[in-house]
Structures are given as C-alpha cells and as structure tokens.
C-alpha cells in the first residue's frame, strides 16, 4: 500500500515549468564605484568589504562616485540589448545605495623581516579594520 501512495503522490504533482521571472529595473545591472580611493564592481544584493568607515551598523550609505553603469541582456526582456553608461569621470546623476552590515577586522597578515648574518629578525602582525556593505540598489543617471 505504501508503494501506491508514493506513486500516487508522484502522479498528482504537476511538472514544474520554468517561468520567466519579472525583470526588475536593477536585475542584471552592474556598476563600478569608487570608495576610499579603491574601485569596486558591484551588483544589487552583493556584499563587499571596504576599509573602515565611521558609520553606524544598519545605516544607509549613498555612493555618488559611480564611474560606470552596465545593464546586460540577462536581466532584460528578450530581444533587448544592454546599455553601458561611462562617466567622465563620474556618471551624472547615478548613485548606488548600500547598507552597513557590520564592522570587524580582516584576516591577519604577518610581516617578517630578516637580515642575514647578523641574527636580526623581526615579526609583526596586522589586521585591517573593515566595514561590510550590502549593495541594495543601483540608480542610473541621465
């Protein structure tokens, strides 16, 4: 009897069909932003680690220094092509909205110095202070 119920359950469940998810405005978008002198390529929902910023956990950060915005054809309806906005040096009106997740230290880096034949050795460690951000939205300018 147990075999019949298992086969009945298989027979009753319809096969899943792949439906295209509704294309949101930020799906498939990428941006190149500059934070603290470093450039990052970001997408919505991505988590990045940057040098420590003096912000509270949970605060929103609006990044205005957007160098490039790209929307590839993966997130667009079929038949449409992606566009690329290149800034000179910034894309006018573009911004990326991020949320501060946490502050902590990075992985330990060991600095080791040695001079031969003198018996001189020196070992030092360093842990970089980091802020973890989650990219929430990319707003294109123009």
Cα–Cα distance measured from residue 100 to residue 135, given in angstroms and rounded to the nearest whole number = 9
pLDDT in tens, 1-29: 455 554 454 444 444 443 433 445 556 88
Q: Check the CA dihedral 91-142-81-16 and report its sign.
A: positive
Higher-confidence position of 39 and 80: 39
Higher-confidence position of 93 and 20: 93
pLDDT score of 23: 46
Cα–Cα distance measured from residue 133 to residue 123, given in angstroms and rounded to the nearest whole number = 32
Q: Do 94 and 66 meet the contact criterion of CB atoms below 8 Å apart?
A: yes
Q: Please compute the mean of the pLDDT values over residues 67-72 and round it to a whole number.
A: 88
pLDDT score of 54: 95
């Amino acid at each position: 009897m147990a075999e019949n119920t298992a086969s009945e359950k298989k027979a009753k469940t319809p096969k899943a069909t792949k439906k295209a998810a509704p294309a949101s405005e930020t799906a498939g978008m990428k941006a190149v932003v500059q934070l603290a002198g470093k450039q990052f390529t970001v997408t919505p929902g991505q988590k990045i680690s940057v040098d420590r910023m003096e912000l509270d956990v949970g605060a929103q950060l609006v990044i205005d220094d957007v160098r490039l915005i790209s929307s590839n054809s993966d997130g667009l309806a079929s038949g449409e092509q992606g566009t690329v906005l290149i800034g000179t040096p910034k894309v006018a009106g573009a911004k990326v909205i991020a949320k501060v997740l946490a502050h902590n230290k990075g992985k330990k880096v060991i600095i080791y110095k040695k001079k031969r034949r003198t018996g001189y050795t020196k070992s030092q460690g360093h842990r970089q202070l980091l802020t973890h951000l989650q990219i929430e939205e990319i707003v294109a300018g123009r």
